[in-house]
Amino acid sequence: MEIYQTINVLIVDDEPNQLELLRYNLKQANFNVTSSDNGEKAVEIAEDILPDIIILDWMMPFLSGVEVCRKLRSQASTRQIPIIMLSARGEEGDRTLGLDIGADDYITKPFSPKELISRIKAILRRTRPSTVSEVLEHGNLKLYPGKRLVERDGIKINLGPKEFNILSTLMERPGQVFSRTQLLDNAWGHGVFVEDRTVDVHIGRLRKALSRHSNDKSWGNVIRTVRSSGYALALNENNVVS
């Protein structure tokens, strides 16, 4: 099985049979599934649970999949959630519209559940590599999501669960600056109340762990502090901060 971390999927479809079929197949593939048959309710659910990916049907009463997608893309909290649009409309114009409003992929009905699962994994490989990859690499640093293992220059680095989750987030997108709130959500989970400055404590522990087995002080500086913004994985040729 390729999935190493629990992936939360929100399915939005007003057809009961289709919804049940998707729920069954995604659960069989070890996804954690939440569903909704109503577009307005789906927006509320997405804001509440912040799923890893959304499977969204185009044709729904009251609030169409197109409008749901627009609403999700207009809000900061849900803007980055990947969306796969499902539709019986296979015309090029419809496909283009779906992608233009912010969908990450577009699948025309009928389709096989295996195809959908493959598309989900493909998107997650781009957006959340640690969820589907056997190893994340950055310079001499390797992180194995399934084994919860980190190595640097072949040396095993012992990390606590929060430090591991923070490093995993940073390694998914080297160079990208993550705010303390984003790191908190990824390391502690959404909706958990923790002081933002707690991240600073765990970043300090993470840096110390990464430099523990070397006399080279730069070993701990692979994590860059961006003033007033957050933290990022350094991107210079030595993967350290100069």
CATH 3.40.640.10 describes domain 8-131: no
Q: Is the pLDDT of residue 6 over 80?
A: no
pLDDT in tens, 11-61: 999 999 999 999 999 999 889 999 999 999 999 999 988 898 999 998 888
Domain boundaries, the chain: 8-131, 136-233
Higher pLDDT, 63 or 99: 63
pLDDT band at 237 (very low <50, low <70, confident <90, very high): very low
In this predicted structure, the answer to whether residue 238 has a pLDDT above a threshold of 60 is no
Range 41-55 burial, b when 16+ CB lie within 10 A, else e: ebbebbeeebbbbbb
The tens digit of pLDDT for each residue in 215-227 reads 555 555 789 999 8
The per-residue pLDDT for 9 is: 95
Do 192 and 184 contact (CB within 8 A), yes or no? yes
pLDDT digits (tens, 9 = 90+) for 108-147: 888 888 899 988 988 887 777 777 777 888 888 999 887 8
The two domains 8-131 and 136-233 share their CATH topology (first three levels equal): no
Whole-structure pTM value? 0.63
Percent of the chain, pLDDT > 70? 86
Q: How confident is the model at residue 186 (pLDDT cuts 50, 70, 90)?
A: confident
- Name the 3-class secondary structure at 5: coil
The pLDDT of residue 216 is: 55
CATH 3.40.50.720 fits 136-233, yes or no: no
